[in-house]
Amino acid sequence: MKKAEVYGICYNPALIVYNLVSPKKHHALFLTDSYHQTLKEEVKSYLAENHLNKTLVVMACGLEIAQQFLKLFPDLPHKLVLFDYPGSLVPFLSPMIQWLDCDHQLGGAWQIAKIKYEEFNELLDRLPVLSDSSKSYLLQMKRLVPADKSNEIEAFSSNLPKNIKEILATQNDSTKSPIKLAKESRKGKETLKSLLLDSLNNIESCDQRKKLVQLVLDYQLALFSKKDFTNRLVLITRDEQIKKDFMNVRKWIDSKVGVSLHDSYYDVVINEGKRGVKTVLATHKKASEEDLEILLSYVRLDGKALSSQAEKVDLFAKLPPDPVLDAAALETVDLSAIFTY
């Protein structure tokens, strides 16, 4: 069997392999530019600076660079290492070339065998200088260019049924998947009440249900920290699914919707008698009226409870009062009936 006269490397970085070449045994010439004039000047400069008392190893980053070098310097003895992807070259299989880090298998699969870097110089020692037949093989090799399918795509597009074109015309430019868009749409419609009811769905213990509702409402009112929420949740339940559900409720409270509900509650209790419910809900647009009813039915923090939150009281007290106060008030709801505890 004829011995390969070119090494092909696909998966290993060219610069790393270049630095493996021992200067005691070889002159390594690293080529990255196939432009005729630049390449010619680069090689001539290299040859002027290095007296070739050792074998020249040309490390070409691409088929086009290797071919240009062979045309410019057909009589210069050298060994060749080609860095390229064999799947894009025709023909890439030949006794003339040995791919060091990939082995083409039946069915088009690639079996990757990593080069042992410490043995690379031994491989170079065994590689013969490029012969005329190998040069001819390389010069005849072509890069596989996929056929232009633009005409077929345009024909397919122009022949789409009218109803499909109308549907496509109404689509927005969002790159998000339909599943993600659906989730975001649903998330925007979720209320604290609906989230709590869903999370309590599989909990039978009334005592546990009550403690979890209190945990969530206290956290919504910012009566303790995020870390305290997690610690208290663990004390109430050890069920991983329940903990996961209520951690999702906590995320909702920390979101813009939850913050809006928090602000609407404090707006009501701090500005009672100054700002009506309609004004509050119009100011904090994401807040749900039924969620606000639940919070106010749970507890109405008074002056004593608010005295520790002077900064918050000062902030909300600065909101403009209603010129004419709307006398309508939110209803008080029975939390034990809503959440069944």
Q: Which residue has the tokens 């969620």?
A: 291
DSSP state of 128: P
- The Cα–Cα gap between 86 and 92 comes to 5
pLDDT tens digits, residue range 3-41?
899 999 988 889 999 999 998 889 999 998 777 788 888
How far apart are alpha carbons 202 and 153 in whole angstroms?
52
What is this structure's pTM? 0.47
Percent of the chain residues topping a pLDDT of 70:
89
Query: Per residue in 293-330, is it b (16+ CB within 10 Å) or e — as a string?
Result: bbbbbbeebeeeeeeebeeebeebeeeeeeeeeeeeeb
Taking a C-beta distance cutoff of 8 angstroms, is the pair 7, 80 a contact? yes
Predicted confidence (pLDDT) per residue in 152-186, tens digit: 777 777 777 777 776 767 665 555 555 454 455 45
DSSP 26: E
Q: What is the rounded average pLDDT of the residues 30-55? A: 85
Got the DSSP string for 162-195?
Answer: HHHHHHHHH-----S-HHHHHHHHHHHH--HHHH
Q: Between the CA of residue 197 and those of 46, 200, 215, what are the distances in Å?
A: 77, 5, 14
Task: Parse the chain into domains and list their residue ranges.
Answer: 6-143, 188-339
Among 199, 190, 314, 318, smallest CA distance to 258 is for 190
More reliable by pLDDT, 194 or 37: 194
Q: In angstroms, rounded to a whole number, what is the distance separating the alpha carbons of residues 148 and 154?
A: 12
Q: What is the mean pLDDT of residues 243-248?
A: 93
Confidence of residue 306 (pLDDT cuts 50, 70, 90): confident
Q: What's the average model confidence in pLDDT over 209-226?
A: 94
